[in-house]
Copies of this chain bind each other. A is one copy, B any other.
């Protein structure tokens, strides 16, 4: 949970119900509001020239999203889309800044969030610079498993999603997973991947 819901409402925030598939903002838009999820899920992705999506992040629970371009006064580099029916609180930039100034603890907690996200971005980047598909996929899996636990866990992602995160094609992911299964690097049963 980022900013206390009551504070948001007190400063003039309004809740809004959005259905799955709705766009909150589009790549290139100018940010004007601070957004915070009350419930549901929002997916942020960038699109390259050919229309291939790359998932920049997925937000759930009470998390806020899209604040960096808002604070940095830049256009949105990604599109935000509700990936499930959701409820979102939105509040204008000015009022958001007021909250940050009036409640220093809020600023510190946002700082924590940004620190975590910057760390995640740095590690995601490492996934993308991998040379082979195998390297990228293992990098992604390690990230998902929080990097430490040793036992093999079920990867709750479709091949298409793995492809979106690693910037590979579905077919390449499938072939790489098969090879990794044969080499004992992952385990596949009933189309489910364990790593």
- Please give, as numbers and ranges, the residues of chain B lying within 8 Å of A110 by CB-CB distance: 111
Q: Establish whether residues A126 and B46, one from each chain, have CB atoms under 8 Å apart when the complex forms.
A: yes
Neighbouring B residues of A101 by C-beta, 8 Å: 104, 108
Whether B114 and A115, one on each chain, are in contact in the complex, defined by CB atoms closer than 8 angstroms, is yes
- Interface segment among A65-73, A83-91, A153-161: the answer is A65-73
Knowing that A68-B119, A72-B119, A114-B118 are A-B contacts, what are 12 other residue pairs whose CB atoms are under 8 Å apart, sorted by A's residue number?
A46-B125, A48-B135, A68-B118, A71-B111, A72-B116, A72-B118, A100-B111, A101-B108, A107-B107, A114-B115, A117-B118, A124-B125
| Residues 129-147 of A contacting B (Cβ, < 8 Å) | 129-131, 135
Cβ contacts under 8 Å, A128 to chain B: 125, 128-129, 167
Q: Quick one: closest B residue to A122, CB to CB?
A: B77
Question: Given A125-B46, A167-B128, does the pair A115, B72 have CB atoms closer than 8 Å?
Answer: yes
Contact segment of A9-17, A49-57, A172-180: A49-57
- Structural contact, A122 and B78, CB atoms closer than 8 A: yes
A68–B129 CB distance below 8 A: no
**Residues of B with C-beta under 8 A to A48:** 126, 129-131, 135
- Min CB distance, A62 to chain B, in Å? 19
A107: B residues at CB distance < 8 A: 104, 107-108, 111
Q: Across the interface, do A122 and B46 meet the contact criterion of CB distance under 8 Å?
A: yes
Distance of A69 Cα from B117 Cα, bound (Å): 10
Chain B neighbourhood of A46, CB < 8 A: 122, 125-126, 129
Asked if A185 is at the interface of the complex by the 8 Å CB criterion, the answer is no
Assuming the A-B contacts A54-B125, A77-B123, A100-B108, are A49 and B114 also in contact, with contact meaning beta carbons closer than 8 angstroms in the complex?
no
